[in-house]
Amino acid sequence: MKTVRYILWGLALLALVIAAGHQLSHFLGTDAENVDGFQPAFTLVNHQGDTVSEATYRGNWALVFFGFTNCPDICPTTLAELAEVMDRLSAESKEVTPLFISVDPARDSIEALTEYVSAFHPSIVGLTGSDKQISNAVSSFKAYFEREAQDSAPDGYTMAHTSSIYLMSPAGYFVRTFKYGTPPEDILEDLRGRI
């Protein structure tokens, strides 16, 4: 009887060691992949009005997209694509956070962002901030945006912006980008290979 108990304890211990080793190698694997990666940093306000930073989203994979709510073409198609990815991830979607960072804080108030992102998917987080916070955030991702005067646009201007989706690891490292128009299937396949 005692022997059986020892064997069971032994097996439990072995399972624990294997699990820990798996976690460790998983963690090292993630880090190794990002030897040349970088960790973007930001302080912004989410569409619920809370101040957030890059640390807020640690522990989850993040799909980051830059845009503005007055954008009628690239932004809705990309957000719809993120929505499709989130829907098709099903259970794994808990490990992914889509972030929409506004590059047009003058027009994108917290209310405007709420209205906009919620039209696509409940999981999408809209982020805005002051001009300085936005430009710091965008440059920390090594992304780009610029306000451009244009008579044929609402309020006389439009925003040029990086159109790729950035994938960040749970440790907050840049992993890769998905260029504009990447089919949702390709993003899903990439994510499933990592989660």
Partner 1 sequence: MTYSLFRSLIVAMSLFMPLVSASYAVAEPVRKDAMVVEAPWARASIGTSRPSAAYLTIHNEGTSGDVLIGIQTSVAGKADVHTMTMTDGVARMGVAGAVEIPAGNKVELKPGGMHIMLMKLAQPLEKGKSFSMTLRFEKAGNITLTVPVLGIGATGPGE
Note the residues at the interface with partner 1 (CB under 8 A): 69-74, 76-77, 79-81, 83, 112, 115-116, 119-120, 144, 148, 150-154, 158, 160-164, 177, 179-181
CA distances from 41 to 55, 134, 178 (A): 8, 11, 20
Distance, in Å, from the CA atom of 139 to the CA atom of 111, rounded to the nearest integer, reads 25
What is the closest distance, in whole angstroms, from the C-beta atom of residue 145 to partner 1 in the complex? 8
What is the closest distance, in whole angstroms, from the C-beta atom of residue 175 to partner 1 in the complex? 16
Q: Which is nearer to partner 1, 56 or 71 (CB)?
A: 71
What is the closest distance, in whole angstroms, from the C-beta atom of residue 155 to partner 1 in the complex? 10
Q: Which is nearer to partner 1, 130 or 150 (CB)?
A: 150
Q: Which is nearer to partner 1, 56 or 128 (CB)?
A: 128
- φ/ψ (deg, to 5) at 194: -105, -35
> Are the C-beta atoms of residues 43 and 129 closer than 8 Å to each other?
yes
> Are the C-beta atoms of residues 72 and 106 closer than 8 Å to each other?
no
What is the closest distance, in whole angstroms, from the C-beta atom of residue 7 to partner 1 in the complex? 57
What is the closest distance, in whole angstroms, from the C-beta atom of residue 74 to partner 1 in the complex? 5
Q: Which is nearer to partner 1, 57 or 68 (CB)?
A: 68
Q: Which is nearer to partner 1, 107 or 194 (CB)?
A: 107
